Amino acid sequence: MNLRRHLRSATLALTANKVRTALTMLGIMIGVLAVTLLVSVGDGTRQFVETSLQSLGSNLLSVVPGRFEARRWGYVGAAVEKPLVLADVELIQRRATLITAATPVIFGNATLRHEADRRSTSVFGVAPEFLRVRRLRVSGGVFFTSQDDQAHRRVIVLGQTLVHSLFSHGSPVGQSIRVGSERFRVLGVLEGKGRSLGVDLDDMALIPTSVAQDVFAQRGINQILAVARDDTRPELASQQIESLLALRRRGERCFTIQTQDDLLRTFSSITGALSAGLFAIATISLLVGGVGVMNIMLVSVRERTREIGVRRAVGATRRDIMLQFLIESLLIALFGGGLGLLLGVAIILTLRGALDELPLQLSPTTGLLALASSLLVGTFSGVYPALQAARLDPAQAVRHE
């Protein structure tokens, strides 16, 4: 019996029991839908993280206090920590020839108030170089200068979200606001960066480093951000910073320098694990669908025992019967899987249209994975019932009531 006849035979058998076939397909459809959606979320998250990190620039370096080791699931740190100080930043700015700009970062939370409006936000103490390092722009007013920093002037630059929450009308530039109990003058406003993954990138305020040290009562700094020169490799710049800082600490390396590649590797391993976890969940739902198909196929073999007998009587071999039932389960799985994939793509496109910040990624791999997994489920759930059908004794099968 050739494949075309097998397909026709299987299609006739499946269409003869439309409701049962549809219900069986539903299980596979839900399984493949889960695979499509979850793989899409996994891929989307990974791509989002990579794009976000790349948008910071591949030559961005971050120095943090403490020694951290990169591990598969992230960074493992030592408890002993010696803080970074402003002298470290000055040393880098003065002596690191492979660096174009460096800025200290001190961060904390504070409540900002203007007249009756108030908002709690992240406040960063930075140097003027921060703009260049983080590729930010000022859309109104100006950014503070090193003179402002030296003079400990209470000046502030606001992100767009703060502008909208604290200044419902009029420009904030030149106006006065309170950060905690201290009064600050708004020097400028940052250009909007938008939202990403539910995080508002405009919900922050920048103040001079010296002022941040006063406000948050800390001498040490939380992070140094630096940009490597375009004509050098970030790892070389990282090595240069490392030797400079180590020299100042008499060889003790109690700090960690991360390049974007390091971060990318770490995040990739985390998002990879996330994808694997999501895929495992999807596989379970697909397996449940597969068990459903197997169950229905076993019932079908029992119900159609006499039909099997008749087919054997008119010339079907064991192999023909096995192929027929196997093709039936494969067709159920493929059609169910195809519908699940289509529904998944429709849901992803609808969601992406409605909420563009959702990390949903559609790729040909997702489609291939969904169809391959449904084929696998079809085979897995069809083999046993097909073998049962093929093993039936034709003489008994034809007499089956």
Chain contacts with other proteins (rule: CB under 8 A): 1-2, 5, 8-9, 12, 15-17, 306-307, 309-320, 393-395, 398-399
154/312 with CB nearer other proteins: 312
Q: Percent helix, strand and coil across the chain, each rounded to 5? A: 55, 20, 25
Tokens, residue 155:
């000046």
Shortest separation between residue 312's beta carbon and other proteins, angstroms: 7
Shortest separation between residue 295's beta carbon and other proteins, angstroms: 21
Contacts of 375 (CB under 8 A, 6+ apart): 330, 333, 334, 337
257/316 with CB nearer other proteins: 316
CB count in 10 Å sphere of residue 278: 20
Instruction: Calculate ∠ Cα 352-357-362, nearest 5°.
Output: 45
Shortest separation between residue 43's beta carbon and other proteins, angstroms: 43
19/87 with CB nearer other proteins: 19
- The alpha helices in 134-215, defined as continuous H runs, are 146-150, 160-166, 209-215
d(CA 258, CA 388) in angstroms, rounded, equals 60
Tokens, residue 241:
């910073």
3-state secondary structure of 107: strand
10/123 with CB nearer other proteins: 10
3-state secondary structure of 205: strand
226/326 with CB nearer other proteins: 326
**7 alpha-carbon distance from chain centroid:** 42
Shortest separation between residue 25's beta carbon and other proteins, angstroms: 18
Residue type, 400: H
Cβ(223)–Cβ(105) below 8 Å? yes
Shortest separation between residue 317's beta carbon and other proteins, angstroms: 4
185/400 with CB nearer other proteins: 400
d(CA 319, CA 329) in angstroms, rounded, equals 15
DSSP 342: H
3-state secondary structure of 197: coil
Q: Hey, which residues does 177 pair with through a beta bridge?
A: 184
Shortest separation between residue 28's beta carbon and other proteins, angstroms: 23
67/312 with CB nearer other proteins: 312
| Burial class of 5 by CB neighbour count within 10 A (0 to 12, 13 to 18, 19+) | exposed
206/331 with CB nearer other proteins: 331
Shortest separation between residue 339's beta carbon and other proteins, angstroms: 23
Shortest separation between residue 341's beta carbon and other proteins, angstroms: 29
CB count in 10 Å sphere of residue 333: 32
d(CA 360, CA 266) in angstroms, rounded, equals 21
276/313 with CB nearer other proteins: 313
Shortest separation between residue 8's beta carbon and other proteins, angstroms: 8
